[in-house]
Amino acid sequence: MSIMGSSAEPTASSDLRYVYYLVYTENGARRSKQPVDSDNPYLARIWAKQVTPPHTVTSLKHCICDIERIPQAFIRGQLFSNILSESPMNEGRISILTSNGLGFKPEQPMAFIVPAIDLTFTSYITVASSWIPVQDDTQPRFFRFSSEYLSVTEDEILHTDGVLRLERRQRKFLIRLPDLYYPIAGESRCDQKVYLALNSKGNLGFIHQDRLKGKVT
């Protein structure tokens, strides 16, 4: 058996405490970037002391994502105490340093489930100016946009797959003029260059290319 552990290996027997885990998407188990055994490319482990305290569900997800090179997946990913658990763990303190803590046996690894699309979001884009898509009639002189577009703030950093898309859709508008009692409503077809992006709250949606600054990194 070939062990392929972390470069930061514990040196004392008292430090030999690992958290074993598997990463899944809706398509099944995902190969680990740091498998424990070359014969099982899916099972991975973290040296428990690598997890930044306080030990919480979020800090453990952060650590897993760092090792697996999916830095944004902790936002929407769900952590399960073992592969047989039916419900994800709630945010809060967790025990990983004790001899019977979470994921302490390779036969009972924790499960981290992430949306497959998030694994492609390895690039970053920066928002140039704040923008909220108008989706009702409270600002009648503005075009109304689908809820598929993200509300963004200036200098916000978004995760993206880096693919520039051309979205062709009908854009609805509603305009009220001072000399008209009834508003004018209509639709206009428009082609928009957009990126599909994920923000820090876990919201997935489109962002216009012209609302970004700098290059995709």
131 and 109 belong to one structural domain = no
Residues 127 and 112 in one domain: no
| Rounded percentage of the chain residues whose pLDDT exceeds 90 | 38
Residue 144 pLDDT exceeds 50: no
**179 or 58, higher pLDDT:** 58
> 182-195 in b/e burial notation, b at 16+ Cβ within 10 A?
eeeeeeeeeebebb
d(C-alpha 53, C-alpha 97), whole Å: 11
Q: Are residues 38 and 105 in the same domain?
A: yes
Domain match, 18 and 109 both: yes
CATH code for the domain of 31: 3.10.20
d(CA 154, CA 121): 20
Last residue of a domain, one of 116, 150, 179: 116
109, part of any domain: yes
pLDDT band at 178 (very low <50, low <70, confident <90, very high): low
Residue 187, domain member (yes or no): yes
- Assess if residue 191 is contained within a domain: yes
Over residues 58-64, the mean pLDDT reads: 92
Which tokens hold the place of 26? 């809706």
The distance in angstroms from the start CA to the end CA of the chain is 39
Q: Does residue 174 have a pLDDT over 60? A: no
Residues 133, 202 within the same domain: yes
Q: Is 4 contained in some domain? A: no
Q: Are residues 187 and 128 in the same domain?
A: yes
User: Residue 192's pLDDT is what?
Assistant: 82
Higher local confidence (pLDDT), 80 or 186: 80
**The domain boundary residue, chosen from 116, 141, 168:** 116
Same structural domain for residues 39 and 110?
Answer: yes
- Domain holding 166, by residue range, is 123-213
Q: Report yes or no on 2 lying in a domain.
A: no
Going by pLDDT thresholds of 50, 70 and 90, the confidence category of residue 88 is very high
Note the pTM of the prediction, 2 decimals. Answer: 0.66
Minimum mean pLDDT among 39-48, 49-58, 140-149: which range? 140-149
Q: For residue 164, name the pLDDT band (cuts at 50, 70, 90).
A: very high
> What is the predicted pLDDT for the residue at 108?
93
State which of 68, 88, 116 marks the end of a domain: 116
Domain co-membership, 193 together with 102: no
Q: What's 131's DSSP letter?
A: B
